[in-house]
Amino acid sequence: MATGRRKIAVIGAGNVGATCAFVLAEMKIADVVMLDIFEGFAKGKALDMSQNGNILNYDGGITGTSDYSDIADCDVIVVTSGFPRKPGMTREDLIGKNADIVSQVGAGIRDNAPNAVVIMVTNPLDLMTYHMQKVTGFPANRVIGQAGILDSARMAHFIAMELNCAEEDVSPMVLGGHGDTMVPLPRYTTVGGIPITQLISEEKIAAISARTASGGGEIVKLLERGSAFYAPGSAAAIMAEAVLNDRRRLIPASCHLTGQYGLEDVYIGVPCILGANGVERIFELDLSDEELESLQGSANFYKSQLSEILGY
For residues 151 and 175, the answer to whether their CB atoms sit within 8 Å is no
The predicted pLDDT at position 4 comes to: 63
Same domain, 197 and 295: yes
226 by Cβ neighbours in 10 Å (0-12 / 13-18 / 19+) ranks as middle
Judge whether 281 lies within some domain: yes
Same domain, 139 and 274: no
Same domain, 32 and 116: yes
Q: How many domains does the chain have?
A: 2
The predicted pLDDT at position 1 comes to: 43
For residues 6 and 75, the answer to whether their CB atoms sit within 8 Å is yes
The predicted pLDDT at position 311 comes to: 84
For residue 62, the enclosing domain spans 7-145
Judge whether 2 lies within some domain: no
The predicted pLDDT at position 2 comes to: 46
What is the CB-side half-sphere exposure of residue 237 using CA atoms within 13 A?
23
Residues 244 and 255: their CA atoms lie apart, in Å, by 18
**Ranges of residues in the chain whose predicted pLDDT is under 50:** 1-2
Active site residues per annotation: 178
pLDDT tens digits for 273-306? 999 999 999 999 999 999 999 999 999 999 988 8
Helix (H) or strand (E) holding 62: strand 62-65
Same domain, 184 and 298: yes
Same domain, 263 and 236: yes
For residues 224 and 87, the answer to whether their CB atoms sit within 8 Å is yes
Same domain, 197 and 257: yes
What CATH number does residue 67 fall under?
3.40.50.720
Same domain, 212 and 276: yes
Same domain, 115 and 196: no
The predicted pLDDT at position 159 comes to: 98
Helix (H) or strand (E) holding 310: none
**Given 96, 112, 145, which residue is the final one in a domain?**
145
The share of the chain scoring above pLDDT 90, in percent, equals: 88
